[in-house]
Structure 1
Amino acid sequence: MPSFDIVSQVDMQEVDNAVNNVLKEIETRYDFRGAKTVMDLSKKTSSINLVTGDDMKIKAVRDMLITHFTRRKVDPRVLDFGQAEATSGGQLKQEIKIKEGIDKDTAKKIVKMIKDSKIKVQAAIQDEQVRVTGKKLDDLQEVISLVRDCDLEMPFQFVNMKK
């Protein structure tokens, strides 16, 4: 039976490239001159740690990250910006998490949406992905367009299409 998986994956090499490009841009920007800004990517925890001078600079870095993620064809919806906290040095720090995988609540919403659509397919949650199985490829393509059109605040990819 034909099937495919709905996943939410991030290409960490492209994320690394985007972060490096933002760091290069920070070095050349006039509004960051004289201010110590540190940004490092932790691939182990899938997060970006940012330490900078004030709220304006945090917003500027946020805009730069979104721009460079888009240029690198990484959906900026994977970025989860945390609260800015004061550090002992009089600066602000912010942790930016990179969301990867589909959490249980979102997976349940996807499965419920597929079942409510009355398309003749079965959807099952497997770890951090949703597997959709059906008899006809047309039904599977209908599910793909249904999931693409929904507004669930995260990017989805459709992989492992088996005929």
Structure 2
Amino acid sequence: MPSFDIVSETDMHEVTNAVDQAKRDLGNRWDFKNVEADIELNDKTITVSAEQEFQLEQLKEMLRMAFAKRQIDPRALAEEGDSKAGKLIKQHYTLKQGIETDMAKKIVKMIKDQKMKVQASIQGDKVRVTGKKRDDLQQAIAMLKEAELDVPLQFNNFRD
């Protein structure tokens, strides 16, 4: 029986490359000369720090652009909040890995509401979709790609 998995994974190697690219861009920007600003990656958290609020916004945009160049979905970044440390303003982000239970339930409900000839089941941090025909599975993939979900989805492990 054909099946595929719906996952939400972020390639950490590409994230490291994107952060490094954003840091290089930061070093080349004339408006950040003699300004204390930085982008740091620790495990699955990214910290963006700058002296002023508008500089922080510029750094966030540089990070998003670096993510886009590396084909990393910016929805993989979850904003944790900001903090002040001395004269620096810091913004913390975590990288989303896996599909949370609430989102998985929402995906299963969306598939069932469409009355497609497929079955969806939650398996840990992924959702497995099975059906009798490949066309039904492709229809489910197309429906999920059109849906406006706040997590990046990948479809892998497609089996006939």
Gaps of 5+ in 1: none
Distance 1:22 1:119 in 2: 43
Residue 45 of structure 2 corresponds to: 47
Distance 2:3 2:146 in 1: 20
* Alignment TM-score, normalising by the size of structure 1: 0.94
> What is the correspondence of 1:1-163 to structure 2 with a 5 Å cutoff?
1-43=1-43, 46-87=44-85, 89-163=86-160
Deviations 1:76-120 (A, max 9, x none): 111122322111x22111111111111111111100000011111
Task: Return the offset for 1:143.
Answer: 0.4
**SS of corresponding position for 2:81:** coil
How many residues align structurally?
160
Task: Return the offset for 1:132.
Answer: 0.3
Gaps of 5+ in 2: none
Task: Return the offset for 1:155.
Answer: 1.3
Distance 1:35 1:96 in 2: 22
CA RMSD of superposed structures (Å): 1.0
* Alignment TM-score, normalising by the size of structure 2: 0.96
Deviations 1:106-140 (A, max 9, x none): 11110000001111111001111100011111111
**SS of corresponding position for 1:85:** strand
Aligned-residue identity in percent: 43
